[in-house]
Amino acid sequence: METRELRYFVAVAEEANVGRAADRLGIAQPPLSRAIARLERRLGATLFDRTPRGMDLTDAGLTLLREGRVALAAMEAAERRTRRTAQTPGESRIVLTAKPGSAGEVMVKLLDAYAAEPDAVDVEVVFSPPRHQALMLRDGRADVALLHRPFDDLSGFDVETLLVEDQVVIVPAGHPASQRTSMTEAEARSISDLPCPRWPEIDGSYPDGPGPEMRDLTQMVQLVRLGRTAIVLPESVQAYVRDGVAVVSLVDAPRVTTVLAWPPHSTSVGVAGLARTAARL
Amino acid sequence: METRELRYFVAVAEEANVGRAADRLGIAQPPLSRAIARLERRLGATLFDRTPRGMDLTDAGLTLLREGRVALAAMEAAERRTRRTAQTPGESRIVLTAKPGSAGEVMVKLLDAYAAEPDAVDVEVVFSPPRHQALMLRDGRADVALLHRPFDDLSGFDVETLLVEDQVVIVPAGHPASQRTSMTEAEARSISDLPCPRWPEIDGSYPDGPGPEMRDLTQMVQLVRLGRTAIVLPESVQAYVRDGVAVVSLVDAPRVTTVLAWPPHSTSVGVAGLARTAARL
DNA sequence: AGCAGTCATACCGAAAAGGTATGGCAACGG
DNA sequence: CCGTTGCCATACCTTTTCGGTATGACTGCT
């Protein structure tokens, strides 16, 4: 199976429509139809059910979509890391990706401690949208990432735990709920006049729902102050909030673990050094 | 980067010689030379240093070899698992791979317990050479494997621990060392007239050394009886030895953990059921 | 019934892959 | 020191594949 065929397949699977997929790929529709048919012939598997409204994935197609995305990410990672090795002889820089504002405190401590090491290399910090950190690690855009259990998918990475913390709910200062000293997660999510905000999906779209669309922490604090939402977050975000909001602890919410993660088999001395520093914190 | 190009690159990297790699790939040498040159141009990286004796990998080439093997295994896995999904509707069978004789006891217990489950599917057990289990899991030839820490590379897999055991050394019954009740691993490996056996590498070749080439457990027991070798192994192999050998415990050898491992994101109900059964043992 | 949308097929030109023949270059041995 | 031997690269040709345009077949909707 060639990389191109697999990219074509993924495009068709995601669009559920050959014509739109062809547009996205920048080719005409007929060659794409043929490529899919040939791929099916070579695999000996029907990947799509053809309907009058488009293409429906079969079970085999679902398998290829799931496994194929992993394979494509691995191909991209191989390519990217090779380019970078060629361009930066001696490895003078590594890329760390994190969610903006996530565990800011621990990240500063980690980077400061690492920079003090004798053999430290430059660490370029790249902020990326929520949940994109693992993707960037998988496809080689980043060498190391700050991930959060249980939200991120840590499977396949080596990790070092940096911080374990409870979650809290942030409510408007004057709201009746602000009088409580603690509540359950279910209670926090069902305060009738304070709907939960909607976080973006991996593809950048927002799910349907009553809450506001959440983009960053600054905006979040404003929305809470305005009495538009209540938001469940790890307690370390208290560093970002000031007046106008109240913090109520949650009794049953899962703990959030912040970890430093990197691909197994990483040969980077920078990543190894950062991991060693993390283990000492 | 296309799959074909990457396969060509890996062949040349492994052979360190374009002509031999071309033979192995079943194509002529000039197209392969051109393919490598084009890949280097497209990556913007020099992958090989050309010497009068062949091709030497550069740092960038080493990166591509390491990452590229992972990517190729992922591509193969995607292809294989898609074929299998198409061929076995309803998933009536999963493939488990293990080293022959490894933790025989615990494997029997696991399979018996799983077979007693109400929704159990058939488990095909495929024995493969030592260290091949993880490869088979990575490229989709197996759905689940019995691996051994610290010998196998578990990175990237989900695991369930089945058994933790000490290691022992097996020596000929009449040998002076058989009088000891315990020794250190270093002592066991340096008994002058009993050299350690040589296990095959991943590629099936044997390293150089004085000891005999080890193929399977039956042969091993014979070799120990004949006074040709002493061998360090997990204690569960005592089930396979009878007369003519003595077992001496080791005080400092690392413990061996037998785990059930499977790829993350596995959607197989068979694998999930087996993992659940393993967790209960 | 006509129309809008879908995917498939037919046919053609362009690009890429593969084969054979051959050239250049360095190391090695007489 | 010169021929031989192994290398890899280049030149040139053939075959395959890839992509584009035009068009057909089929379904659901108005």
Instruction: Select the more confidently predicted residue: A243 or A103.
Output: A243
pLDDT in tens, A220-230: 778 888 888 88
**Whole-number Å distance between alpha carbons of B185 and A239:** 52
Q: State how far residue B138 is from chain A, nearest Cα, in angstroms.
A: 11
Q: Of B83, B100, B120, which residue constitutes the final position of a domain? A: B83
Domain-embedded: residue B255: no
Residues A143 and A269 in one domain: yes
Instruction: List the single residue in B67, B70, B267 with the smallest CB-CB distance to A82.
Output: B67
B-chain residues near A94 (CB < 8 A):
none
pLDDT of the residue at A183: 87
Instruction: List the single residue in B1, B60, B87 with the smallest CB-CB distance to A85.
Output: B60
A146-171 average pLDDT score: 92
Instruction: List the single residue in B62, B86, B156 with the smallest CB-CB distance to A156.
Output: B156
CB B168 within 8 A of CB B235: yes
Residues B78 and B92 in one domain: no
Domain-embedded: residue A88: no
**Whole-number Å distance between alpha carbons of A96 and B156:** 20
Q: Of A38, A54, A83, which residue constitutes the final position of a domain? A: A83
Give the domain CATH number at A242: 3.40.190.290
β B93-98/B54-57 pair status: unpaired
Instruction: List the single residue in A86, A140, A265 with the smallest CB-CB distance to B46.
Output: A86
Residue range of the domain that includes B148: 88-155+261-280
Q: State how far residue A159 is from chain B, nearest Cα, in angstroms.
A: 11
Residues B51 and B8 in one domain: yes
Q: Quick check: B157 pLDDT over 80?
A: yes
Which of A33-47, A230-244, B142-156 bottoms out in mean pLDDT, i.e. has the lowest?
A230-244
- Give A159: exposed, middle or buried? Use CB within 10 Å, 0-12, 13-18, 19+: middle
Q: In the numeric block, which tokens belong to residue B148?
A: 């051994």
Please judge whether B155 and A155 are an interchain contact, meaning their C-beta atoms are less than 8 angstroms apart: no
B45-72 average pLDDT score: 93
A-chain residues near B155 (CB < 8 A):
156, 158, 264-265
Query: Which amino acid would we find at residue A26?
Result: G
B-chain residues near A78 (CB < 8 A):
1, 6, 63-64, 67-68, 70-71
Q: Quick check: A106 pLDDT over 90?
A: no
Which of B10-14, B32-36, B48-52, B72-76 bottoms out in mean pLDDT, i.e. has the lowest?
B48-52
Give the domain CATH number at B18: 1.10.10.10
Domain-embedded: residue A148: yes
pLDDT of the residue at A263: 94
B61: closest chain A residue by CA:
A82
3-class state of residue B261 by DSSP: strand
Residues B136 and B184 in one domain: no
Residues A204 and A227 in one domain: yes
> Is the C-beta of residue A57 closer than 7 Å to nucleic acid chain C?
no
pLDDT in tens, A175-230: 887 788 888 888 888 777 777 778 877 777 777 777 777 777 777 778 888 888 88
A interface with B, Cβ–Cβ below 8 Å: 1-4, 6, 43-47, 58-64, 66-68, 70-71, 74-75, 77-79, 81-83, 85-87, 89, 140, 153, 155-156, 158, 264-265, 267
Residues B128 and B267 in one domain: yes
> Is the C-beta of residue B12 closer than 7 Å to nucleic acid chain C?
no
What is the number of domains present in chain A?
Answer: 3
Put the strands of the sheet holding A182-183 in their side by side order.
A182-183, A245-250, A167-172, A231-234
Please judge whether A264 and B155 are an interchain contact, meaning their C-beta atoms are less than 8 angstroms apart: yes
Query: Which amino acid would we find at residue A223?
Result: L
pLDDT of the residue at A5: 96
Angle at B260 between CA B254 and CA B261, to 5 degrees: 100
Whole-angstrom CA distances from B13 to A80, B5, B49, B62, B70 are 19, 12, 11, 9, 15
Identify the band that residue B4 occupies on the pLDDT scale cut at 50, 70 and 90.
very high
pLDDT of the residue at A195: 79
Please judge whether B68 and A89 are an interchain contact, meaning their C-beta atoms are less than 8 angstroms apart: no
* Average confidence score pLDDT of chain B: 89
pLDDT of the residue at B208: 75
Domain-embedded: residue B256: no
* Average confidence score pLDDT of chain A: 88
A45: closest chain B residue by CA:
B86
Whole-angstrom CA distances from B71 to A19, A140, B138 are 29, 12, 10
Residues B8 and B68 in one domain: yes
pLDDT of the residue at A103: 61
A159-170 average pLDDT score: 92
**Whole-number Å distance between alpha carbons of A60 and A79:** 28
Identify the band that residue B103 occupies on the pLDDT scale cut at 50, 70 and 90.
low
Instruction: List the single residue in B3, B43, B60 with the smallest CB-CB distance to A2.
Output: B3
Task: Choose among B45, B9, B49: nearest CA to B25.
Answer: B9
Q: Of B83, B112, B147, which residue constitutes the final position of a domain? A: B83
Residues B141 and B273 in one domain: yes
- The number of beta carbons lying within 10 Å of the beta carbon of residue A158 is 18
Length of chain B as a residue count: 281
Question: What 3 state SS string does B101-131 have?
Answer: CCCHHHHHHHHHHHHCCCCCCEEEEEECCCC
Domain-embedded: residue A255: no
Residues A171 and A242 in one domain: yes
Residues B78 and B9 in one domain: yes
β A256-262/A122-127 pair status: unpaired
Q: Quick check: A102 pLDDT over 70?
A: no
For residues A177, A178, A182, A184, the Cα torsion angle rounded to the nearest 10 degrees is: 30
Q: In the numeric block, which tokens belong to residue B193?
A: 């007239």
CB A166 within 8 A of CB A255: yes
Q: In the numeric block, which tokens belong to residue A261?
A: 């993660």
pLDDT of the residue at A47: 94
Task: Give distance CA B36 / C1' D2 (Å).
Answer: 34
For residues B70, B73, B78, B81, the Cα torsion angle rounded to the nearest 10 degrees is: -140
Which of A113-127, B74-88, B99-113, B149-163 bottoms out in mean pLDDT, i.e. has the lowest?
B99-113
pLDDT in tens, B244-262: 888 888 988 899 999 999 9
**DSSP code at position B160:** E
Q: Quick check: B133 pLDDT over 70?
A: yes
Query: Which amino acid would we find at residue A130?
Result: P
Q: What percent of chain A has pLDDT over 90?
A: 56
Please judge whether B85 and A153 are an interchain contact, meaning their C-beta atoms are less than 8 angstroms apart: no
Helices (H), chain B: 3-15, 18-25, 29-43, 59-87, 104-115, 132-138, 185-189, 217-225, 269-280
Task: Give distance CA A119 / C1' C26 (Å).
Answer: 40
pLDDT in tens, B218-243: 778 788 888 888 888 888 877 777 77
Domain-embedded: residue A188: yes
A-chain residues near B59 (CB < 8 A):
85-86, 89
Give the domain CATH number at B105: 3.40.190.10
Closest CA to C6 C1' — which residue?
A52
A-chain residues near B82 (CB < 8 A):
43, 45, 47, 60-61, 63-64, 67
Question: What 3 state SS string does chain A have?
Answer: CCHHHHHHHHHHHHHCCHHHHHHHHCCCHHHHHHHHHHHHHHHCCCCEEEECCEEEECHHHHHHHHHHHHHHHHHHHHHHHHHHHHHCCCCCEEEEEECCCCCHHHHHHHHHHHHCCCCCCEEEEEECCCCHHHHHHHCCCCCEEEEEECCCCCCCCEEEEEEEECEEEEEECCCHHHHCCEECHHHHHCCCCCCCCECCCCCCCCCCCCCCECCCHHHHHHHHHCCCCCEEEEHHHHHHCCCCEEEEEECCCCCEEEEEEECCCCCCHHHHHHHHHHHHC
Domain-embedded: residue A48: yes
Q: State how far residue B144 is from chain A, nearest Cα, in angstroms.
A: 15
Domain-embedded: residue A260: no
Identify the band that residue B174 occupies on the pLDDT scale cut at 50, 70 and 90.
confident
* Helix B29-43 with B3-15: angle, nearest 10 deg: 110
pLDDT of the residue at B231: 86
Which of A62-66, A226-230, A274-278, B167-171 bottoms out in mean pLDDT, i.e. has the lowest?
A226-230
B17-41 average pLDDT score: 94
